[in-house]
Amino acid sequence: MTRYKKADFEEDISSIGSVQLTEGVSSTATHIRYHTGTTFWKSRTVLEKCLIVSVVSLLVIVFILSLALSATGGPSRYVQYAKVSESGAGSPKVCLSETCVKTAASLMSSIDKSVDPCDDFYEYACGNWIKANPIPDGKSMWGTFVQLETRNQLVLKTVLERPKTELKAGAEKKAKLYYLSCMDANETIETLGGKPMLDLLSTVGGWSVAGSFDVKRFNLQQKLQTLQNKYNMGGLFSWSVQEDDKNSSLHIIQVDQSGLTLPTRDKYLNKTANEKLLNAYLDYMTDMGVLLGGERNRTRGLMQDVLDFETRLAEITIPDEERRDEEKMYHQMAIAELQDRAPFLGWLEYFSDAFRSVKKKITDKDKIVLYAPSYLSNLTLIINEYHRTEKGNETLNNYLVWQMVNSLRSCLSKNFRDTYKGVKKALLGTEGGEESWRYCVQDTNNLMGFAVGAMYVREAFHNESKAKAEAMISDVRIAFKENLKALKWMDPETRKLAEEKADAITDMIGFPDFILDPKQLDDKYDELDIREDTYFQNNVNANIYTLKQNLKQLGQPVNRTRWSMTPPTVNAYYTPNRNQIAFPAGILQSPFYDVNHQAALNFGAMGVVMGHELTHAFDDQGREYDKHGNMHQWWNNKTIERFNVQTECVVKQYSSYEMGNKHINGKQTLGENIADNGGLKAAFRAYTDWAASHPEEAPLPGLNLTHKQLFFLSFAQVWCSASTEEATDLHVEKDTHSVPKYRVKGSLSNLPEFAENFNCPIGAKMNPKEKCVVW
């Protein structure tokens, strides 16, 4: 439920299928500076300058094109020339439009021709891109997703800095105020220092780290109700109002494990491997406490107790790879039964206190869904142990208040924000250091993304992209259903139900319509109080607002058109309990999609994204939900057994991949790997079906690749990226997606059509004899 500020460790590992917001980054475009006589250039008129630049640019394009064409030698083992008509003099007809020339140059500049595509297609497709795109200073990762995010941030900066009179809705003006409060032109944040936090600490009952706390008056029930039900802070467990997985037309309270500050449980438990990080984390905690008035040695001791408590939570936290069967995790019960399972808290009093703010009455017969019963049972034992001593109660209070202090650190002055640099360096290999406006743009989008999205859509989104994207989704859906017919492990009855589910998947493209209606947009943010000069308080208000909006959903019908991502987001997602796929406006741009691109490029990039999200409806978790979005067993047992055999192949395949000194977790990444493979297969079939019914497009200049080969190149190059060793390790350990290199290699090596089109012999690394096929 908690509206956390973007986690500092969640940098730009953007991935299709999950919501991962990105930080801003600086451009790495190479600027070539010409040394010319100033008199000549300054004496030119604006028109003359434009003409000179146009002529020079045209000559450069022609020169590059001529070099590319002349560099094309005879076909290698893997190149198959496209069959094209000739225009005379033995010259093949190629596409020489501006878009084609620029696209060809971009694709070609990334390819490393010294690499055999049958040996390592990722290195072939991205090798030169990686060499030419070093990770920018202060960043831990750089790739296509990040580049698009930075491009979108520039658009958002432009619209957020326009005069209020040019904004359409009051909500847009409110977003601008929040952005200005973050930018802090009057340095109010620096002037206030830690005062806003100290005032809040006093309000929530004090913190012994900062010197004012009476342990004899500590009451866990009251502390949790204050921090979580009033200020929407985290700690010990998480809960929210969401769609009921087994009756997706209703909302229900859901309770789950939570409470760790570091990104994974392993960071606490594997102390030898994470000694540097744990020391940096303790230093950070200590520095924050000292800045808020604590004496250093005493503060370090108190914070060590908090770290030890978090380690106890990590020990009872269930690993993600063991939580993939959502049907087994689902435990619906009355609040009275929850009380019996986890008596460390008066749950009826707790929930009644929370819903009092939205005037909803709760009884002990009301139902909740518990996703981690063993965690809450073990948590009860730990809390009972800590309750036995005053020191234990002091540690519980310090831990809970620390969750609040940590979540609001970025709203304080620079000396507070800088305390985290050591942790970030240990986690990501860099201390960060982005431009403040990029952080503030993203922060505003995180809070008021649909108000910001309205401005973004008017500024940058082309409506023609929406209609064409819908047509592509239809093509991919048809191809996916055709692929179902070839699956030998699926029985006819389940196959028919799967086809019905595929047909029932609804799609949302671009943005929700309500954001362009000023009244509806204003109504959404009406209860959010924002001022230009109170960034810290704005974030406290945002937490309260987000909590109330969530609580209001209980007892209300489910809005099946509700978006979970904001329009500028460069990503896409599938929602199982709505059986719905969504593609925000932010991703519907080059290189993923361009109405002027050739079909092979659009299908290879955006088509695979669409296929990926559609296939999520049938991965190891999505398959548990029927066409209406309700979780129950709708496959027969024999088909489930055969499905598990197919998925075990995928688990073993990806578990064999290694990055640095860590193997990919094949169980943790199973769903995304299934979606990658199924999405690629469906998109390729959709493209070949499209090509069979349309006139052949002219080839791109200089590449000497067929359209089918371009499809695979386009798919691979959207994943070109580079990251620090630390960021890669964190990705492997934490993310449900495989690292980009193996998202490309893993799925392509399972697709026979890839090997056919690049003439890869059986037994080549990209064409193994044994292949894993699920969908």
Strands of 247-257's sheet in order across: 237-244, 247-257, 367-370, 331-334
Task: Report the chain's C-alpha Rg in angstroms.
Answer: 28
Amino acid at 278: L
Residue 502 CB contacts under 8 Å (≥ 6 apart), including other chains: 477, 480, 481, 484, 614, 617
Upper half-sphere CA count for residue 564 (Cβ side, 13 Å): 19
Q: With contact defined as beta carbons under 8 Å apart, do 676 and 612 qualify?
A: yes
**Integer angstrom CA distances of residue 228 from 222, 355, 364, 575:** 10, 12, 20, 27
Upper half-sphere CA count for residue 767 (Cβ side, 13 Å): 17
Give the E-state strand segments of 260-360 in sequence order.
Answer: 331-334
Q: Which residues of 495-504 are buried (b: 16+ CB within 10 A; e: fewer)?
A: bebbbebbee
User: Prior bond to 761 cis, omega within 30?
Assistant: no
3-class state of residue 426 by DSSP:
helix
Give the E-state strand segments of 302-416 in sequence order.
Answer: 331-334, 367-370
Catalytic residues: 613, 676
Burial label for 691, CB within 10 Å (0-12, 13-18, 19+), is middle
Which residue, 466, 749, 754, 481, is CA-closest to 615?
481
Residue 756 CB contacts under 8 Å (≥ 6 apart), including other chains: none
Residue 693 CB contacts under 8 Å (≥ 6 apart), including other chains: none
**Integer angstrom CA distances of residue 765 from 750, 761, 770:** 11, 9, 11
Q: What does residue 520 show for φ and ψ, rounded to 5 degrees?
A: -65, -35
| Positive/negative CA dihedral, 720, 726, 727, 731 | positive
Residue 742 CB contacts under 8 Å (≥ 6 apart), including other chains: 654, 657, 659, 664
Upper half-sphere CA count for residue 262 (Cβ side, 13 Å): 33
DSSP result, 537-564: HHHHHHHHHHHHHHHTTTTSPP-TT--S
What is the C-alpha separation between 718 and 100, in angstroms, rounded?
A: 17
Amino acid at 329: M
Helix 421-428 and helix 725-734, axial crossing angle in degrees, nearest 10: 80
Backbone dihedral region of 226: left (phi > 0), alpha (psi from -120 to 50 degrees) or beta?
A: alpha
What is the C-alpha separation between 276 and 423, in angstroms, rounded?
A: 9
What are 652's two structure tokens? 């073993």
What is the C-alpha separation between 652 and 589, in angstroms, rounded?
A: 35
Residue 377 CB contacts under 8 Å (≥ 6 apart), including other chains: 341, 342
- Parallel, antiparallel or unpaired: strands 331-334 and 367-370: antiparallel
